[in-house]
Structure 1
Amino acid sequence: MTNLLSYKKIWGSVVATILMIFSLQVSAKPPIYTSYFSDLAVAGYDTVAYFTESKPIKGNKRFVTEYKGAEWRFKNADNLAAFKATPEKYAPQYGGYCAWAVANNDTAKGDPLQWTVHNGKLYLNYDAKVQSKWLKDKQSFISSADKNWPNVIK
């Protein structure tokens, strides 16, 4: 009988430890936003194109690199080379999470079609409604988001 109680205590401790580890892993978010079923950064859009062509352009599977655990696609070899040379210049701020959400100490997906380049940096927003709020006071939101990042993903 005492062996059975010992096994139950040990098993209970093992289960509790596993649940604790799982809950810690679930709460931490990756440094680069990707959808649940993909490892594509910025939903496969070419981040260099925001700077060189001032518009979102889908990347090509032939021009790809890995950065911070995500796959990044580009429309051509030149954009891929530019990103590889200075990824921090072209990667969206706050890992591609919605900049307005990060400013409000939260996270949400960043939509590559709701974007702003401000002072040489790329920012994504959740949707058009959020972006309209963001654009009204982006400098203030950037200051807040800079203070909150990266703690919001920990």
Structure 2
Amino acid sequence: MKTQFFIPFLLLINSILFSQTSNINKENGVANYGYDVVSYFSGKPQPGSANNAVKYQGTNYYFVSPENKAKFQKEPGKYLPQYGGYCAFAMGDYGKKVDVNPKTFKITDGKLYLFYNKLLTNTLTSWIKDEKNLTIKADKNWQKFNTK
């Protein structure tokens, strides 16, 4: 019972304190906290480098190697995290943009999902319990942000 209250409370506090106005979760113009979005698909997310940067739709993405950079440039949509890199669980359950821990992720059906994982709360655990329904709700909620 405590968990059911605790998770929404932490996500609400996070969304208030770190309100995001962009549809891409970025810091200082760099998406995904500088983590290489291609590296997730090898199973191990890694921080990229400004030496291997790509500007895509006004946002910088960093990569660990020229090879990963080239993969992204060839098919960016294949590697971009869902919901602009915001927490998939929060988007599905509350329709809110919430920061993530770039090391907490899941790939389902070739799509990258990122999750909030701070202050003893890992929303990936809750996502896994109801992934199918939360994905449907998150997809619907995300559309609201892209029609503004």
Instruction: Name the TM-score class by shorter chain.
Output: 0.7 to 0.9
Distance in 2, Cα, partners of 1:119 & 1:67: 23
Q: Which has the higher strand share?
A: 2
Aligned AA (2:77): E
| Structure 1 residues 93-132: aligned runs within 5 Å | 93-103=82-92, 104-127=94-117, 129-132=122-125
Quote the residue 1:146 is aligned against: 139
Cα deviation per residue 1:33-57 (whole Å; 9 max; x = unaligned)? Answer: 013xx11111000110111x20111
Percent identity over the alignment is 37
Instruction: Tell me if 1:72 matches 2:61.
Output: yes
Rg larger in structure: 1
Aligned AA (1:151): K
Deviation at residue 28 of structure 1 after TM alignment: 7.8
Quote the residue 2:26 is aligned against: 34
RMSD: 1.7
Distance in 2, Cα, partners of 1:82 & 1:47: 10
Quote the residue 1:20 is aligned against: none
Distance in 2, Cα, partners of 1:72 & 1:123: 17
Instruction: Tell me if 1:45 matches 2:38.
Output: no
- Count the aligned residue pairs: 125
2:20/2:97 contact within 8 Å kept: no
Distance in 2, Cα, partners of 1:29 & 1:87: 22
| Structure 1 residues 53-92: aligned runs within 5 Å | 53-92=42-81
Structure 2: where are the runs of 5+ without partners?
1-18
Deviation at residue 29 of structure 1 after TM alignment: 2.1
4+ long deviations beyond 3 Å = none
Compute the TM-score of the two structures, normalised by the length of structure 2.
Answer: 0.78
2:23/2:145 contact within 8 Å kept: no
Distance in 2, Cα, partners of 1:84 & 1:44: 16
Structure 1: where are the runs of 5+ without partners?
1-26
